Chain A
Amino acid sequence: MTYTHDIVIVGGGGAGLRAAIAVVEANPQLSVAIISKVYPMRSHTVSAEGGAAAVIRAEDSLDEHAYDTISGGDWLCDQDAVEAFVDEAPKEMLRLENWGCPWSREPDGRVAVRPFGGMKRIRTWFAADKTGFHLLHTLFQTSLKYEEIARYDEWFVTKLLVEDGRVRGVVAIELSSGRIETITAKAVILCTGGCGRVFPFTTNANIKTGDGMALAYRAGAPLKDMEFVQYHPTGLPFTGILITEAARAEGGWLLNKDGYRYLQDYDLGTPQPGPVLRSMELGPRDRLSQAFVKEMEKGRTIDTPYGQVVHLDLRHLGAKLINTKLPMVRELCLDYEKIDPVKDLVPVRPVVHYMMGGVSTDIHGATPLDGLYAAGEVACVSINGANRLGSNSLPELLVFGARAGRAAAEFAAAQPDDGGDWSGILTQAEDERRRLERDLRGREGGGERVSTIRTEMQAAMEQGAGIYRSADSMAKCADALQELRERLPGVSIDDHTTTFNTELIAALELGLMLDVAESIVHSARLREESRGAHQRTDFPERDDVRYLAHSLIHRSADGSPRVEYPPVTITRWPPGVRVYGR
């Protein structure tokens, strides 16, 4: 059977929900649907803790937010995109407020803001330390008001349907029944989130397997700046659960094994008792994660069964502040580490957290492929450049989710209703169905497990494409990935049933993740410089002559990758030195 909508949004996280509402508001005549592999309120936006940045105070300015973002991104951000972003972020955040988001407040009733890493002004809105949770539930609940928004909850998209250079729909599996359907559309918006799961140690949920990136890549849309993977400096060992940057923004210290605030040794400023903006613990994430590795090399970190750690010290903040501003940090430490940050040091280490790269879009969320749009973490506009600032991602998904929704609505409304000849699309869909039914669900067992290949891929990525990289480490990683790709067709799927077959889904996700992993490593090998989160021991300097440019990776007809380097858009802030703590 075939379903038809004007616009199909893949993903029901913050970006997808915002896009859906924008479509209805732009043109209520359009039929719009959200397809999501989990119920929308389970999407990973739910786990964002610290906050969302938008200029609201008189002493702040859009230019300062833009400058912090651009210097934080090591000048790889497109400055026209950043200008649009900082301008629209406050409006979007106010809409969220009007829709009922329970932002933390000042005594006089205004929305409260807190400091955040790499930001020179206090501009991060927060809902205690469950910002993403409240933002997602507010958006989801508000979306229920719009009866126009159809939903396919717990449906997994396996393929984008493309003909004559235009996206015409998707193929998806309904998890509960296993039925495979074609869903056609005049425009598709990808809002599928990030890909942290290609690494072994990550803050990202199980669902963050980079599906949308791989789907777009396979369909012929290029990916941008895939080598830029953000490590967050403070994850709990073993689980990878995030301890939000807000913990440092409220005054937390990072200590090495001697109890020393080691960041002072890495050109990040001199320690003060209270938090200082753009300094020390409030430096940008790339620099803090890199300092950890250096500290480890000096033998000044702490050895634990789950690897080397440093300590996050919140004890001096006191129970009252921790309970009101960081309740989730305390809850997570108590539940998962059996320690209480009010009186204990919290062990932390850098953890894969966010993907700066993604499906390449313009500032309206449009990809180069007609009818295909992308927004949120899956997309790369790029406002994040080589290193995203904490609390810029939530406003990004609002601003560009809304933009993509409006742009897709305009595009869809301009397309004729019958859309011409569908036979080619339906043949493609039939091929995909056959692949899913015969090659995967019908596959005989006896081979390797999905988890074996997945674990090896993750290990290869950590060893070869982690915080510090070199030509040598990445070559090994690329070879390992190639070998895994050859083993992939032999992977066994023991579950041949149709109802909620999660083994089949895991196998599909693994295939998609391998594409993403390869694009990360391939782009990283070709960028012979160090910039932001991409640090090469063999090319330690930034090289603006060769690489003040985006890596745009395309898939050639034979499946091999091809990379181009379009220039970064510079409007008002010429490349400079990143200065923190001075």
Chain B
Amino acid sequence: MARSITMQVARYRPDREAEPTMQSYDVPLRKDWAILDGLNHIKDELDGTLSYRWSCRMGICGSCGMTVNGEPKLTCATFLTDYAPGPVRVEPLRNFPVVRDLVVDIGDFMAKLSVVQPWIIRKDEETPDGEYLQTPAELEDYKQFSMCINCMLCYSACPIYGLNEHFLGPAAIALAQRYNLDSRDQGSADRMDALSASTGVWDCTYVGECSTACPKNVDPAGAIQRYKLTAATETLKSFLMPRGGR
């Protein structure tokens, strides 16, 4: 195995440069080095000015999403050897404004989070004395959608979001479904406006790129499809029972 690999890294400092450029660095090619280890080697040993986000380096905090050889990846869980002999190209996530080098602006997603009201909504005023009972089967109903680490790989992969930034997008919709399907929640009607709006589920043409990109098997595309069915039924119900007979 070669001893080193070339990393081509996107650089962009808005105070300095009008547009992004690529810069090459040679880093050691080690069996257990993730792309992130390569970036850390660059920052610590070669060029302190490179900026990117990372924290947990165990695939759970969702900070380190980037575009690696054209695909959205968690760089702490993607290994250099898979790209040998190289070069391997590291760019910021697509579909987001670039703040600097490999750092993108996810403010849009953070704002959309609140729109889908991702918290338990109860119609009863009193909080219970103990726990709400929930069987393992009921937990299973929404569990997959609760595994999202907000890494934004799905938004980066989504062609619809690329064209229309108003689209709620895969992770936000999956999160809404995570609560809609939770046996403790009574708020699906409250979330309906946001989900059925023109920027909600109907924007999705079921390309499915989001689920392919997702590193945590959340299957946001599945969440969207499932909600379309629910929404269609609800709409039908509202025609049949206009005064909300439930």
Contacts and interface: CB of A to CB of B under 8 A. Distances in A.
B15 A502 contact: no
A505 B61 CA distance: 19
Given A42-B62, A108-B133, A335-B59, A206 B54 contact: yes
Contact of B100 (A134, A144, A500): A500
Given A206-B57, A499-B14, A100 B150 contact: no
Given A46-B56, A110-B133, A145 B119 contact: yes
Nearest to B77: A335
Q: How extensive is the interface on chain A, given as a class?
A: 35 or more
B62 A41 contact: yes
B222 interface: no
A219 B67 CA distance: 42
Interface in B128-168: 128, 130-136, 138-139, 142-143, 146-147, 149-150
Contacts of A205: 55-57, 61
A402 to B, nearest CB: 15
Interface string A377-419: 0000000000000000000000000000000000000000000
A576 interface: no
Contacts of A94: 130-131
Interface in B28-84: 32, 43-45, 47-49, 51-63, 77
B140 to A, nearest CB: 10
Interface stretch (A295-303, A428-436, A490-498, A526-534): A490-498
Residue of A100, A102, A449, A451 with most chain B CB atoms under a 10 A cut-off: A100
B86 interface: no
A176 B132 contact: no
B113 interface: yes
B194 to A, nearest CB: 13
B32 A142 contact: no
Interface residues of B, number: 60
Contacts of B146: 102, 134, 137
B58 A332 contact: yes
B55 A206 contact: yes
A499 B13 contact: yes
Contacts of B128: 98
B141 to A, nearest CB: 11
Contact of A503 (B48, B77, B133, B134): B48
A336 B77 CA distance: 8
A153 B133 CA distance: 35
Given A499-B15, A500-B99, A176 B55 contact: no
A152 interface: no
A153 B136 contact: no
Nearest to A449: B48
B105 interface: yes
A432 B9 CA distance: 34
Secondary structure of the B side of the interface? Answer: loop
A145 B116 CA distance: 11
Contacts of A46: 56, 60-62, 149
B110 interface: yes
A109 B134 contact: yes
A239 B32 contact: yes
B236 interface: no
B179 interface: yes
Residue of A137, A241, A242, A328 with most chain B CB atoms under a 10 A cut-off: A137
B91 interface: no
B58 A100 contact: no
A100 B179 contact: yes
Interface in A97-111: 97-100, 102, 104-111
Interface in A109-138: 109-111, 130, 133-134, 137
A475 interface: no
B219 interface: no
B83 to A, nearest CB: 16
Given A98-B132, A133-B149, A494 B57 contact: no
A122 B142 CA distance: 27
B118 A98 contact: no
Interface in B85-141: 99-101, 103, 105-106, 110, 113-114, 117-120, 127-128, 130-136, 138-139
B214 to A, nearest CB: 14
A44 B61 CA distance: 7
Interface in A544-579: none
A241 B58 contact: yes
A42 B65 CA distance: 12
A328 B58 CA distance: 10
Contacts of A144: 113-114, 117-119
Contact of A501 (B51, B58, B63, B130): B51
A396 to B, nearest CB: 20
A97 B47 CA distance: 46
Contacts of B133: 108-110
Nearest to A238: B32
Nearest to A42: B61
Contacts of A47: 56, 58, 60-61
Interface in A187-212: 205-207
B87 to A, nearest CB: 23
A337 B77 CA distance: 11
Contact of A239 (B44, B58, B114): B58
Contacts of A99: 119-120
B32 A336 contact: yes
A137 B61 CA distance: 10
Given A205-B57, A499-B99, A97 B105 contact: no
A38 interface: yes
Nearest to A450: B48
B38 to A, nearest CB: 14
B3 interface: no
A207 B105 CA distance: 19
Nearest to B101: A500
A44 B55 contact: yes
Contacts of A98: 120, 127-128, 131-132, 184
B246 interface: no
Contacts of B243: none
A100 B55 contact: no
A176 B13 CA distance: 11
Contacts of B110: 39, 153
Contacts of A100: 119-120, 179, 182, 184-185
A135 to B, nearest CB: 12
Contacts of A492: 48
Contacts of B54: 206
A141 interface: yes
Contact of B48 (A130, A141, A331, A494): A494
Given A100-B185, A205-B57, A493-B48, 16 more contacts: A39-B110, A41-B150, A42-B55, A46-B62, A98-B128, A100-B120, A104-B136, A104-B139, A142-B120, A153-B110, A238-B32, A239-B57, A336-B58, A495-B49, A497-B100, A502-B51
Ranked 3 nearest A-B pairs via Cβ:
A109-B133, A451-B44, A500-B100
24 contacts: A42-B63, A98-B128, A98-B184, A105-B136, A108-B133, A109-B133, A109-B138, A110-B133, A144-B117, A144-B118, A145-B119, A206-B56, A206-B57, A207-B55, A239-B32, A241-B58, A494-B47, A494-B49, A497-B49, A499-B13, A499-B14, A499-B100, A500-B103, A503-B49
